[in-house]
Amino acid sequence: MITCVIEFGKEKQLMIMKTIKTRLYYEKATAFCREMVFAAGVFLLFITFVMQSYAVEGGSMQPTLESGERLIAEKLSYRFGSIEQGDIVVLYYPADTSKTFVKRVIARPGDVIEIKNGVPQINGSALPEDYVTQSFRSHDFIKPVHIPAGYYFVMGDHRNVSFDSRHFGLVPEKYILGRAVLRFWPLTRINLFS
């Protein structure tokens, strides 16, 4: 009789231990899932509102950026500040917002842009462009265009191959996703953009 009670007690102890282990496993799994959902939420907020990685495709930003390079664009400063002339930006292609381009801001709202023999004239003065090499400069002419509020004129640094505002027109501010701040690939060309 005593033996049966002891064995019954062992079985009950084993069942209790199994139940405790199952409960602990369940609690750990639940905590892990909560942490993963929280981390995913933070990550999504980060790439939606703060920074995101983009790939450069094509040669339109040579020699500043080469095809295949990767950069980080930050999105926060444009929510609180203004888009400046000379900023390298990532933007939606206005005719197809499933595509993104990397271009340089040449003219801002309120500016009058004219291009004479490939040289942008902003409000009557030639824009100094150290980033455009002579062999990459085009020789096109564009009559004066007044940039309305909420729009920007963008161009690539390789003017002979860049598909930009000279072709697709002005870019609405809402299509500018962020400002390029860092080239991180390839490792041999890592640098910050000012």
The tens digit of pLDDT for each residue in 136-164 reads 989 999 999 999 999 999 999 999 999 99
Exactly one of 28, 82, 103, 138 is catalytic; name it. 103
Whole-number pLDDT of residue 40: 63
> By the 8 A CB rule, do 85 and 125 touch?
no
- Say yes or no: 68 and 31 in one domain: no
- Say yes or no: 73 and 165 in one domain: yes
Number of domains the chain is built from: 2
Write out residues in the chain with pLDDT < 70, as ranges: 1-9, 38-50
Nearest residue to 61 via CA among 175, 163, 171: 163
> By the 8 A CB rule, do 131 and 64 touch?
yes
- Say yes or no: 63 and 90 in one domain: yes
Token duo for residue 3 = 């033996």
Question: Among this protein's residues, is 165 annotated catalytic?
Answer: no
Range of the domain at 3: 1-49
122 contact partners, CB below 8 Å, separation of at least 6 = 85, 106, 107, 111, 112, 113
Bridge partner residues of 54 (DSSP):
71
- Say yes or no: 56 and 44 in one domain: no
Whole-number pLDDT of residue 102: 96
Token duo for residue 116 = 């004479």
Question: Among this protein's residues, is 103 annotated catalytic?
Answer: yes
Domain boundary residue among 12, 27, 49?
49
- Say yes or no: 41 and 65 in one domain: no
- Say yes or no: 65 and 133 in one domain: yes
Whole-number pLDDT of residue 3: 46
- Say yes or no: 39 and 62 in one domain: no
Neighbours of 121 (CB within 10 A): 16
Exactly one of 12, 18, 21, 60 is catalytic; name it. 60
pLDDT tens digits for 79-89?
888 899 999 99
pTM for the whole thing?
0.75
- Say yes or no: 22 and 58 in one domain: no
- Say yes or no: 39 and 68 in one domain: no
- Say yes or no: 31 and 68 in one domain: no
- Say yes or no: 114 and 148 in one domain: yes
